[in-house]
Amino acid sequence: MKIICIGRNYTEHIEELGNERPDNPVIFMKPDTAILKDNAPFYYPEFSKDIHHEVEVLVKIKKEGKSISPEFAHKYYDEIGLGIDFTARDVQSQLKEKGQPWERAKAFNGSAPISKFISKAGFDLQKTGFELKINGQTVQNGNTSLMLWPINELIAYVSKFFTLKTGDIIFTGTPKGVGPVSIGDELVGFLEGQEMFRFQVK
């Protein structure tokens, strides 16, 4: 399976990082070795001093497809989840400066904690709220209504370049409020108020 991530999909997050608004979604990938599941702890890597959380709504692809049109995209997923796109911001800044790829900052071991997946049936994905709390404090509070490219358009765009296969996961971008995590933190994620994950930084 592969993990496809979308960058710069929420206006206010683009502004907080001082990035340009892209003409198309920014796409990058993580390998399957990035996945952490079942609330496994995240071990702070030694190569960074500035690991940031980015809470994101996840989509799990249920059948193979390429060049999917937006109006049929909903047929390619039944389940959604919540995850963290951990980012070594210090490493990413260095790579951006040199115009180099982001893998060392974004695709390292454990950089993709994911929740269980649940049926999308109970959600209006045009306006689904989600939240990340660290040690009980809300740090990110997003809503899919603020996406520049909604989920179905992301699937259409991504599938022009990459055949989507059963089990692939799409990270749909983070809203504003990204920031650092520290050893000892507890991260808890909610989708429409429902707890989706709870894990520690060690």
Q: Which residues bind Zn ion (CB under 5 A)?
A: 54, 85, 174
Min CB(174)–Zn ion separation in Å = 4
- In terms of CB distance, is 85 or 131 closer to Zn ion? 85
In the complex, minimum distance from the CB of residue 176 to Zn ion, in angstroms, rounded to a whole number: 12
In the bound state with Zn ion, the residue whose beta carbon lies nearer, of 54 and 131, is 54
Find, among 154, 78, 112, the residue nearest to 2 by Cα.
112
Which CB sits closer to Zn ion, 2 or 78? 2
- Give me the residue label for tokens 């996945």: 35
Q: What is the DSSP string of 36-74?
A: E-TTPPBPPPTT-S-EEE-EEEEEEE-S-BSS--GGGGG
With CB atoms as reference, the residue minimizing the distance to Zn ion is: 85
Q: Are 79 and 60 in contact (CB under 8 A)?
A: yes
Least spacing, CB of residue 147 vs Zn ion, in Å:
12
Kindly tell me which of 52 and 120 has the beta carbon lying closer to Zn ion.
52
CB of 110 to Zn ion, least distance (A): 15
Which region, left, alpha or beta, applies to residue 173 given φ > 0 means left and ψ of -120 to 50 means alpha? left
